[in-house]
Structure 1
């Protein structure tokens, strides 16, 4: 006797709305209207005879039954996505990675040629959109994420941490020298990254550099929303950015940016945040997926060792 299932479209609406706790965000993800999501879930609740959400004027929360049901529906969609990814594909296999744009352009992409050499028939897609993807339901094999604390999950593997150091153009460095020839950071226009969890306030506190009256004013300067823009502003001579190794290594090696840490007698500061590789752990995964994980972890280890030796 065939299983009697609720409408799959309504289940998809429910899974996305339950994950986001929002009809609006679910609609944006699924490219439909919030009204369509709402009506689909009402239809599902009527079919099941159970309320899945508590609806308030400015909030949406799962009921106890809804939270329990979401667990099973999410697992079901993950199984469907995993099964789909394992189907034979005559066009060749593919790997999809969700990654922040600065890390993608400055660390991942310059290394991908080596992976393509090892796996020439495997296509790689790098997605830098800011949305938080759900593995593997959204069709991704991997996500590279930042986190301060270790995540107690075998699907999370640490890639590397960041090291913070002030950087600027050679001409900007020369303009910061006082009459005695020493660098004075109080002369600098600091370039801030508004979206960064650790920025100048962290560096000043960790190095014991005086701030505020008579010291470095960490509130003033140029504010941008990405690390990439901060590096470009520093290269353009607009001020001093907080370099993040290994992301800034290429610019330091080419000479378009220079470190100020040694002359300021502060050196490198280890950030609390680190990059983590997130994937779905499965003993029956494809060989190229396992190969990509092993390759990326090895690249990260080599990168971390290179920075620690400097």
Structure 2
């Protein structure tokens, strides 16, 4: 007797909604309406006779049964994706698909891609900067670049480089932070926060001993790029992330409001599927990974030299806590 399977479209809806913990994000990924996702999952729950999600006013979450079922469904879709990639006539000349954050893409990756293209002119690269969780290999991505404190189980992680925090603002705004004696104080500043990294300012203040600065107020934005733009417009002081802020500092659009830099607890990692063997059939994947890791290592070494030079320059003109 053949196995009775639930409706496959509904399973696809469930896998995406479970991965994102959101009907809206699942709908955007699958190019359908949130209502279609919701109705599909209701039908799946009725067919299975179990509740897969807890619906609450502020969102959804998987039930214990739903979380357990998701692990099986995700593995099944992964096996289908891997099997499809292994078909003899499956396109092996498709672009290398990479997912990363938009600020990282525009400020670090894209300026270096010309070097990759010069060495491998026939290899195309597709960069996706949408804010969504990537499932390997179901979503068709070969790599993702993610910021994290440590690797996450289930995928292969290679560390690229870390970041350093430094307060930045426009040159004109910097002048407003000086008192009548000419001393510079961040207590006068409006702090610009990034919602997804709201703890960064506190981490910098704790590391530098600037405990008299209030972090609860200020301006809040949803991306690092917006924080840098707000700072360049004179709206306050943003916490710059080296290397992402380097181009603004080099152009003079932003200046360091304080020369004290602090190493971030997170780093950029190159992520790929653990079990995928597509690099054997697509050697360009191995070439791209090796190139990207080499670029990151070269960049990291340059930063270490620059930091060592900066540490030899005395800095006594900034007051951070009085």
Matches within 5 A, 1:151-162: 151-152=152-153, 155-162=156-163
Aligned length: 299
| Match status 1:255 vs 2:259 | no
Identify which of 232, 249, 270 aligns with 1:277. 270
| Match status 1:237 vs 2:234 | yes
Instruction: Say which is worse superposed, 80-89 or 9-18, in terms of deviation.
Output: 80-89
Matches within 5 A, 1:104-183: 104-152=105-153, 155-183=156-184
CA shift for structure 1 position 175: 3.4
Give the corresponding residue for 1:71. 71
- Give the gaps of 5 or more residues in structure 1: none
Q: Deviations over 1:1-30 (max 9, x none)?
A: 988755432332343344345555544432
Identify which of 280, 284, 287 aligns with 1:288. 284
Q: What TM-score do the two structures reach when normalised by structure 1?
A: 0.81
Matches within 5 A, 1:290-305: 290-305=286-301
Structure 1 outlier segments of 4+, above 6 Å: 1-4
Q: What TM-score do the two structures reach when normalised by structure 2?
A: 0.79
- RMSD over aligned CA atoms reads 3.1
Matches within 5 A, 1:193-208: 193-208=194-209
Q: Is the 8 A contact 1:53 1:60 kept in 2?
A: no
* CA shift in 2, pair 1:46/1:283, >3 Å: same
Counterparts of 1:226 and 1:20, CA distance in 2: 19
Q: Is the 8 A contact 1:18 1:62 kept in 2?
A: no
Instruction: Say which is worse superposed, 249-258 or 5-14, in terms of deviation.
Output: 5-14
Counterparts of 1:248 and 1:288, CA distance in 2: 31
Counterparts of 1:86 and 1:140, CA distance in 2: 15
- Give the gaps of 5 or more residues in structure 2: 307-322
CA shift for structure 1 position 99: 1.0
